[in-house]
């Protein structure tokens, strides 16, 4: 049953069913990596679908970024942030071809932005760090949705404080629908099709969110896992198959999702939309900001645990370093005694024509430390200038001994290969974020945005948000002919 916004907030703040040892295990943590013992049983809250109204032919959504309190531990309200509430945000949903406008008001005490992660839209509406919304101010980005059905998301992107705002709860999903796409998949929101926002939480003995100031290479790594804002979440499944739209909304932790009993499930979509065909797997690994839609089959009366197993972080890292070496239970699925039948998975899902890269412009990006191509971001420097709607191939290298990833604003791209080897099937769809293990070289192909703007750039960056906050970003301008200024003025861009 779909929850109202009020019910959602009440559910996420309700007393989570936790083992009695939780508080003491948190307070006596020898290291923040220790996993609190969580008893599963709190119903998974489902973010409500955002209300919208039509203004002529424009679908209008309203969001307010605000501070609040949220209980991860019963009776211990923690400082938090949310959209239209105290924690997380509603799911925006619109169809390909629709004109949308998002009216966003900043009710925080600090500047913020609203970035539409994975969306193809003009740079001036993308919500990058140049487009700050000051406290008390508003902004109204608007564009026509022109991309396939996909699970996208929205979050803040203020330079230097993205980790704090995102981690405190400024996260929401954005579903793009396309007529006829994925109709044979589970698709009834809150019944057999669920958003699943997964974040690790670093909680202290008072149930407060804390941040790691030790200089950890990945920023804050949590000691517990929240699914849609609660610890120990369980989902009552009433259909033979269920679709989970997984989002790794953590700042630095990688998740390697699978089920505790080792069962096979199917990946049906990546960041930017449906795959060519359902891909059977027993694990799907997501770096921060990556998404995967999975479909799992259940039998009447069973309970199965969605788990994050120790991720593969590359050959350079010891298994226990940089967030590896840990298993986390994420969500328990409890199948009803009687299940509504679900259609069989289709053999084919979507056409994904390969981009013609024969004449593509090639660029190279090397990630090292907190640098890209030996630079940290300068908000007044243009790093790259691209021609509107042209096809490019980017070579992206990670020369560090620890993991990064790479996100490009304004596009969906295709991963051509990793170290010369074709990617696994579940990474052959549209992507906007790719993992970069130590020593990896990935080649990505993309059609550059169709929106020329000589004043407002798009960003590319590592989506380990501590790295992003510390300047591991660059910016590119899209112009009519691929030429333009080498410098920008960020003055006057605040809303």
pLDDT at 214: 78
Render pLDDT for 136-191 as a digit per residue (tens, 0 to 9).
999 999 999 999 999 999 999 999 999 999 999 999 999 999 988 888 999 999 99
CA distance 466 to 164: 9
pLDDT over 50 at 12, yes or no: no
pLDDT over 70 at 9, yes or no: no
Neighbours of 210 (CB within 10 A): 16
Tell me how far the alpha carbon of residue 469 is from its chain's centroid.
17
CA atoms within 13 A on the CB side of 269: 26
Q: Quick one: which of 147, 252, 241, 253 has its CA closest to 194? A: 241
Beta bridge pairs of residue 60: 53, 101
What average pLDDT does the segment 225-231 reach? 97
3-class DSSP assignment, residue 376 = coil
Q: Quick one: which of 326, 75, 111 has its CA closest to 205? A: 75
Render pLDDT for 461-491 as a digit per residue (tens, 0 to 9).
999 999 999 999 999 999 999 999 999 976 6
Q: Which of 24-28, 339-343, 371-375 shows the lowest mean pLDDT across its residues? A: 24-28
CA distance 53 to 69: 29
pLDDT at 495: 53
pLDDT at 35: 47
Burial tier of 57 (Cβ tally within 10 Å: 0-12, 13-18, 19+): exposed
Phi-psi region of 127 (alpha: psi -120 to 50; beta: other; left: phi over 0): left
Label residue 373 by pLDDT band (50, 70, 90). Answer: very high
pLDDT at 2: 53
Burial tier of 20 (Cβ tally within 10 Å: 0-12, 13-18, 19+): exposed
Tell me how far the alpha carbon of residue 162 is from its chain's centroid.
13
Residue with tokens 């939309």: 273
pLDDT at 491: 62
Q: In this structure, are residues 95 and 177 in contact, taking their beta carbons and an 8 Å threshold?
A: yes
pLDDT at 323: 82
Beta bridge pairs of residue 407: 433, 461
pLDDT at 185: 96
């Amino acid at each position: 049953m779909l929850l109202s916004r009020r019910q959602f907030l009440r559910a996420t703040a309700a007393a989570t069913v936790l083992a009695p040892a939780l508080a003491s295990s948190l307070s006596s943590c020898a290291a923040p990596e220790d996993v609190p013992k969580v008893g599963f049983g709190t119903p998974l809250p489902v973010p409500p679908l955002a209300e919208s109204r039509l203004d002529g032919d424009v679908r209008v959504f309203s969001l307010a970024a605000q501070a609040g309190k949220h209980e991860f531990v019963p009776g211990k309200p923690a400082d938090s942030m949310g959209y239209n509430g105290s924690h997380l945000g509603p799911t925006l949903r619109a169809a390909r071809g629709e004109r949308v406008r998002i009216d966003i008001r900043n009710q925080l005490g600090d500047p913020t932005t609203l970035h539409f992660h994975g969306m193809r839209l003009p740079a001036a509406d993308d919500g990058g760090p140049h487009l700050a919304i000051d406290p008390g101010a508003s902004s109204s980005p608007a564009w026509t949705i022109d991309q396939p059905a996909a699970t996208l998301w929205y979050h803040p992107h203020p330079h230097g404080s993205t980790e704090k705002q995102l981690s405190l709860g400024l996260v929401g999903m954005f579903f793009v629908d396309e007529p006829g796409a994925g109709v044979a998949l589970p698709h009834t929101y809150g019944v057999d099709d669920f958003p699943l926002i997964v974040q690790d939480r670093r909680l202290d003995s008072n149930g407060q969110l804390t941040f790691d100031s030790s200089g950890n290479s990945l920023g804050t790594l949590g000691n517990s896992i929240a699914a849609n804002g609660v610890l120990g979440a369980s989902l009552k499944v009433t259909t033979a198959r269920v679709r989970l739209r997984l989002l790794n909304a953590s700042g630095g932790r990688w998740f390697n999702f699978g089920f505790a009993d080792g069962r096979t499930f199917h990946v049906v979509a990546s960041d930017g939309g449906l795959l060519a065909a359902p891909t059977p797997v027993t694990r799907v690994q997501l770096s921060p900001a990556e998404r995967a839609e999975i479909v799992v089959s259940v039998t009447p009366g069973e309970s199965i645990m969605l788990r994050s197993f120790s991720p593969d972080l590359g050959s350079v890292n010891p298994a226990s370093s940089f967030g590896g070496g840990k298993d986390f239970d994420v969500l328990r699925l409890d199948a009803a005694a009687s299940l509504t039948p679900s259609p069989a998975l289709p053999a084919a899902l979507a056409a994904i024509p390969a981009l013609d890269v024969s004449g593509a412009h090639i660029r190279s990006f090397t990630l090292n430390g907190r640098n890209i191509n030996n630079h940290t971001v300068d908000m007044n420097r243009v790093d790259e200038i691209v021609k509107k709607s042209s096809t490019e191939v980017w070579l992206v290298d990670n020369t560090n001994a620890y993991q990064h990833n790479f996100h490009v604003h304004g596009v969906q791209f295709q991963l051509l290969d990793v170290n010369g080897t074709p990617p696994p099937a579940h990474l052959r769809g549209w992507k906007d974020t790719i993992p970069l293990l130590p020593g990896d070289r990935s080649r990505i192909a993309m059609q550059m945005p169709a929106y020329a703007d000589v004043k407002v750039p798009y960003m590319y960056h590592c989506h380990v948000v501590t790295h992003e906050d510390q300047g591991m970003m660059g910016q590119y301008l899209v112009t009519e002919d691929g030429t333009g200024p080498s410098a920008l003025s960020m003055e006057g861009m605040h809303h």
